[in-house]
A = this chain, B = another copy of it.
Amino acid sequence: MLNFAVGPVEEFRETLTIGGERTPYFRTEEFSAVMLESERLILEFSGAETGARAVFLTGSGTAGMEAVVLNVLGDGDRVLVVNGGSFGERFCKICAVHGLPHGEVRPDAGRQVREGDLAPFDGQGYTALLVNKHETSTGVLYDMALLADFCHRNGMLLLVDNISSFLADEFDMAALGADVMIAGSQKALACAPGVSVVAMGPRALERVARNRPKTFYLDLRAALADGERGQTPFTPAVGVLLQIHARLKRIAATGGAASEVERTRALAEDFRARIRGLPLEVASEAPSNAATPLHPTGGRSAYGIFEELKAHHGLWVCPNGGALRDRIFRVGHMGALTMADNVALIEALAEVLRC
């Protein structure tokens, strides 16, 4: 099977080799050195400012999202969430579970957020913005300059879920004035799923230090304290952390984050050029390099196309759930994919769509 899902994605051979190795005992200087170097590279690749820190949580990206809400936010906060799909909705649910007052900016599915969407919330006393930079369910890469400007104007924290966009699209935490960036192991890092990364700038770190811990497992203060010596409070997903370290080092050796973003952009653009002529339309005003959301225009069910590619062509694309199930499927461009893989997918799509 060739994997065009949006995560977990196709792994590189080096990553799989580490996956097949025995898990080392990890309360050692050797493992600490690995972790400290990974932290440094995550901060470098996210453009974090001096004094920023990053921690590695064993859990899905959602664990990172909830950790940020629980540790960075607290009493007195009023949160604004950009809710243009199921991952924005997830931030709203996390706020609701923890009784955090929040408002919602609601661009329609597939639509970019615009100045007019934000205007009603200007000067309304919001203290923080939660945004999935790439709303992965609909494939919209939000206009971060617009959102950052809004936050700056309103003196708000900017907390960015960058899970499916880190290393696939440009991101400069310091230039943007973002206070938090969340990443995940199984997207453009192309490692096994199971680790979420949370990078924090000085304002977020100050919040974490000041807030009373409201969670034990997702306590970022404890993770930061143990992270100072390259360790974690609990047994982590050691193998995934070793995969992440090796991948970060390889990216560093081959041009850094910019070159990885460029590689993904080239794959996405190649794919989008090749679908011209097929009865498919890109269902997003502003797609990320990470994935192309597609709507079949000839009346075919999007989920049916996923099923047929899986059953008869040895290909996984990424179906949608809920209301979008029959309308949209997604093609990922992250991980160990090549332009030849794009050609194989296009040929299969042409056959499935009978054109």
With beta carbons under 8 angstroms apart, the residue of B5, B62, B192, B234 that contacts A25 is B5
Number of copies: 2
Q: Output the nearest chain B residue to A17 by Cβ-Cβ distance.
A: B20
* Contact assessment for B215 and A97 in the assembled complex, using a CB-CB cutoff below 8 Å: yes
* Contact assessment for B193 and A23 in the assembled complex, using a CB-CB cutoff below 8 Å: yes
Minimum Cβ distance to chain B for residue A214 (Å): 7
* Contact assessment for A217 and B63 in the assembled complex, using a CB-CB cutoff below 8 Å: yes
* Contact assessment for B59 and A217 in the assembled complex, using a CB-CB cutoff below 8 Å: yes
A26 to B215, CA, bound (A): 29
A319 to B186, CA, bound (A): 32
* Contact assessment for B7 and A22 in the assembled complex, using a CB-CB cutoff below 8 Å: no
Say yes or no: is A240 at the interface (Cβ < 8 Å to chain B): yes
Among the listed stretches A8-16, A102-110, A248-256, which one makes contact with chain B, having 4 or more residues with CB under 8 Å of it?
Answer: A8-16
Minimum Cβ distance to chain B for residue A77 (Å): 17
Q: Output the nearest chain B residue to A10 by Cβ-Cβ distance.
A: B22
A190 to B216, CA, bound (A): 26
Say yes or no: is A60 at the interface (Cβ < 8 Å to chain B): yes
* Contact assessment for A23 and B1 in the assembled complex, using a CB-CB cutoff below 8 Å: no
Query: A12-50 vs B: 1/0 string, CB under 8 Å?
Result: 000011011111111110000000000000000000000
Minimum Cβ distance to chain B for residue A87 (Å): 11
With beta carbons under 8 angstroms apart, the residue of B192, B236, B319 that contacts A27 is B319
Minimum Cβ distance to chain B for residue A118 (Å): 26
Minimum Cβ distance to chain B for residue A28 (Å): 7
Say yes or no: is A316 at the interface (Cβ < 8 Å to chain B): yes
In chain A between 188 and 226, which residues have their CB closer than 8 angstroms to a CB of chain B? 192-194, 213-219
Minimum Cβ distance to chain B for residue A30 (Å): 10
With beta carbons under 8 angstroms apart, the residue of B19, B24, B61 that contacts A19 is B19
* Contact assessment for B216 and A93 in the assembled complex, using a CB-CB cutoff below 8 Å: yes
A93 partner residues in chain B, CB cutoff 8 A:
216
A62 partner residues in chain B, CB cutoff 8 A:
216-217, 233-234
Residues of A within 8 A of B (CB): 1, 3, 5, 7-8, 10-11, 16-17, 19-28, 58-63, 66, 90, 93-94, 97-98, 184, 186, 192-194, 213-219, 233-240, 310, 316, 318-319, 321
14 CB contacts below 8 A, A to B, read A3-B24, A7-B235, A8-B23, A11-B22, A16-B20, A19-B19, A19-B21, A25-B310, A27-B321, A28-B310, A62-B234, A93-B216, A97-B215, A192-B240
